[in-house]
Amino acid sequence: MSDFSFKDLDVLHESGIFSHLDYYFSTTMANIFKDSGPLEIISAALTCRALSKGCICLNLTSVAGTVLKSSEGKELIQLPELECWCNILENSAMVGTQVSNCGKKENDMASCIGNYPLILDRDNDLYLSRYYDFQCRLSENIRARIKRQIPGPDDAFVAHRPASYFDSQDTNKTFGQLQAVKKALCSGFIVVSGGPGTGKTYITDIIQTLLSTWANENDLAPPTVMCLAPTGKAAARLKNGATIHSALKPVKNGTGFRYNEANPLAADLVIVDEASMIDMALMTRLLEAIRPDARIVMLGDMNQLSPVQAGAVFFDLCHADVLSDFRVFLDVNFRSGGKVGIEKLAKAVNVSDADTVADILKADYPDLVFVDTAEEKEGYQARLESSILEGYKSLWDAVSIEQAMAAIDDFRVLCAHNLGHSGTLQINHLCEKILRSKEKDGINRPVFKMLLMVRRNDYKRLLFNGDTCVVIEENGMSTAWFDEKQSGTRHFRLSDLPECEPGFAVTVHKSQGSEFDTVLIIIPEQISPVVTRQLLYTGITRSRKKVIIFGSMPMIRQAVQTSVERRSNLQALLDGE
């Protein structure tokens, strides 16, 4: 199929291929660039669609010549061959281009950004101009940081002082931690990737202490430290932690942040935790708001789910060759010593070993429970309700605010989706129904306790997306209590909270940055592109003590063998390709 019409755009929208946003963006471009043909407008919609799937660009090479089908399998349109497609885009008034692999046109890319809504690069990747700009700025920022010499401890200090913190431990296990500390003392930018329990937080404490010691010994002011994370939950685990948004301070009634390249943060050392959750746009703005002569320690787990928004930045940083001397991987779990089922399961999932995953789930590990919903269809619902009731028992039995706060992270149900039979909406409803039914059991409790999760940032009250509270109902008044870990509890009237949702069951995406004693993971019964190796790994590693999985073995096998692919060229740009 070589001819396209604007009617094709409507067909793709009505069939669900294009969202309302994709359709609105492309039709807006059609109204602005009135001479553009239908293929250019469809390309704009496809690029917007790729962004919603987490890719910052549309790779024309991989989709050229493919057929777009409806959810029922009906063939709708066939996309053009690569050379034809590139030629049309290179001659479009709405596309700025580099020298592409199949064309000759060349523009000054700096002038393209802002003048063209779409950018086509030499690798045949089509971007929204804004995201091409973010990628270029982020790459330039990082490359400048690794080239810059940061004043700091001398060679003798680096060679001997860090080792004293690991003298009493197995050097084979602490080698990675020691290397991370040394690299942080010598460099202005380092990346540390490791799963839960690998000591990422521990080494940041050592880095801060050593930099303060060196400054004191040289009659210098101690370094100003900022510890940041993308969510309130993750920030609460850091010493004097703050969310990235609260630190950068969004401009009221406007766009952007108060702290930026022209007005940087007053910090000598910036520690960024849960960096795998940070998307391309936010990472760019964060690094631009950090002084060029400040140290940055980037912590995360490259095997976790990528950010909800576009750009798997941390994953790219963990694979760029140019950062090999500025990167450390931690793989020793100090919590378990490699002897428990959770760690074995996480490792097997990580390497897509479906057979080993199946063997581990069928084995008898005290910290793993697997309910095969395909084999236990009749007893599935009863076991699910029993597990939920047992999981939230400590919260329900609490007779004081202090006890409720202590139990808030004992248990959580994790889902793949919000909608559907196994989605958070349905499971939260089930949780409330089960827990309210306990009134008939005569269990001693003064009030009903509801878990709520904040959905929208409230900078006035310092409440952020993902923060979880316990709602206590007493004397007709509903009060929401938050545990701030470091500063104690805070409470607000329920009516004063920003937009919230029930928090008994949350998506695995929303659970990132949090840890619970026990997690119950519900795997959907139907095939879903969301259910991947990364989702399963992230859910499993949210647990400190026990994992309960409800799902069929065929679906789990498929999830283990399915991986999320996020398209960007950040890694290639960093490596100068």
Any domain includes 135: no
Look at residues 305, 335, 365 and tell me which one is the last residue of a structural domain.
335
Q: Are residues 118 and 227 in the same domain?
A: no
Same domain, 427 and 359: yes
The answer to whether residue 265 scores a pLDDT higher than 90 is yes
What SS3 state is found at 49? helix
Q: Are 65 and 77 in contact (CB under 8 A)?
A: no
Q: What band does 402 get if pLDDT is binned at 50, 70 and 90?
A: confident
Boundary of a domain, candidates 335, 357, 384: 335
- Residue 201's pLDDT is 86
All residues at 6 or more sequence positions from 389 whose CB lies less than 8 Å from its CB, including other chains? 434, 435, 438
Q: What pLDDT is stored for residue 284 in this prediction? A: 96
| 142 assigned to some structural domain | no
388 and 430 Cβ atoms separated by less than 8 Å: yes
| One domain, residues 369 and 434 | yes
In a domain, 171, yes or no: yes
497 plus 386 within the same structural domain: yes
pLDDT of residue 199: 83
Which bin fits 311, alpha (ψ -120 to 50), beta or left (φ > 0)? Answer: left
Mean pLDDT for the stretch of residues 234-251: 84
When pLDDT is cut at 50, 70 and 90, the band that residue 237 belongs to is confident
Predicted confidence at residue 104, as pLDDT, reads: 37
Q: How far is CA 433 from the centre of its chain?
A: 31
Structure token pair of residue 360: 């581990």
Q: What is the DSSP letter of 263?
A: S
Instruction: Count structural domains, the chain.
Output: 3
Q: For residue 230, is pLDDT > 70? A: yes
* Last-in-domain residue among 335, 364, 393: 335
Q: Are residues 489 and 347 in the same domain?
A: yes
Pair (436, 311) in one structural domain: no
CB-based contact 113:132 (threshold 8 Å):
yes
The pLDDT score that the predictor gives to residue 486 is 58
Question: Has residue 246 got a pLDDT over 90?
Answer: no
The rounded distance, in Å, linking the Cα atoms of 453 and 414 is: 13
In-domain check, residue 259: yes
Same domain, 350 and 482: yes
Residue 548 pLDDT > 90: yes
Is the pLDDT at 373 greater than 50, yes or no? yes
The pLDDT confidence band at residue 439, using thresholds 50, 70 and 90, is: low
User: What digits encode the pLDDT tens for the residues 132-151?
Assistant: 999 999 999 999 999 998 88
CATH of the domain at 64: 1.10.10.1020
The CA distance from 266 to 258, in Å, is 13
Which among 41, 32, 57 has a CA at the least distance from the CA of 8?
Answer: 41
Tell me, yes or no, whether 278 and 363 share the same domain.
Answer: no
Q: Which residues of 343-378 are buried (b: 16+ CB within 10 A; e: fewer)?
A: bbbbbbbbeeebebbbebbeeebebbbbbbbeeeee
Q: Is the pLDDT of residue 399 over 70?
A: yes
Name the band, by pLDDT with cuts 50, 70 and 90, for residue 107. very low
Among 227, 235, 201, 225, CA closest to 464 = 235
Show the domain range for 210: 148-335
When pLDDT is cut at 50, 70 and 90, the band that residue 336 belongs to is low
C-alpha to C-alpha distance for 193 and 198, rounded to whole angstroms: 9
Query: Are the C-beta atoms of 539 and 519 separated by less than 8 Å?
Result: yes
What span, in angstroms and rounded, lies between the C-alpha atoms of 561 and 532? 7
Within a domain: 572? no
In single-letter form, the type of residue at position 438 comes to K
Mean per-residue pLDDT of the chain: 86
Reported as a single tens digit per residue, the pLDDT across 456-500 is: 878 788 787 788 888 887 777 788 888 776 566 788 988 888 888
Question: Per this entry, what is the length of the chain?
Answer: 577
Q: Which residue has the tokens 């290397």?
A: 179
Higher per-residue confidence, 449 vs 501: 501
Tell which wins on pLDDT, 67 or 3: 67
- The CA distance from 298 to 271, in Å, is 6
The verdict on residue 501 lying in a domain is yes
- Which one-letter DSSP state was computed for residue 221? P
Task: State mean pLDDT over 288-317.
Answer: 90
Q: What is the DSSP letter of 464?
A: -
How are the residues of the chain apportioned to helix, strand and coil, as percentages rounded to the nearest 5? 40, 20, 40
Is 134 among the domain residues?
A: no
- The answer to whether residue 109 scores a pLDDT higher than 70 is no
- CATH of residue 525's domain is 3.40.50.300
Q: Is residue 280 part of a domain?
A: yes
Are 101 and 203 within one domain? no
Q: Is the pLDDT of residue 2 over 60?
A: no
Question: Would you state the pLDDT for residue 226?
Answer: 93
Least confident range from 69-78, 119-128, 344-353, 532-541: namely 69-78
**Residue 442 and residue 555 in one domain:** yes
| Statement to judge: residues 292 and 241 lie in one domain | yes
User: At residue 369, what are phi and psi to the nearest 5 degrees?
Assistant: -130, 125
**pLDDT > 70 fraction of the chain, expressed in percent and rounded:** 93
Question: Which tokens belong to 265?
Answer: 């943060």
Does the pLDDT of residue 314 top 90, yes or no?
yes
pLDDT of residue 6: 83
Q: Are residues 304 and 346 in the same domain?
A: no
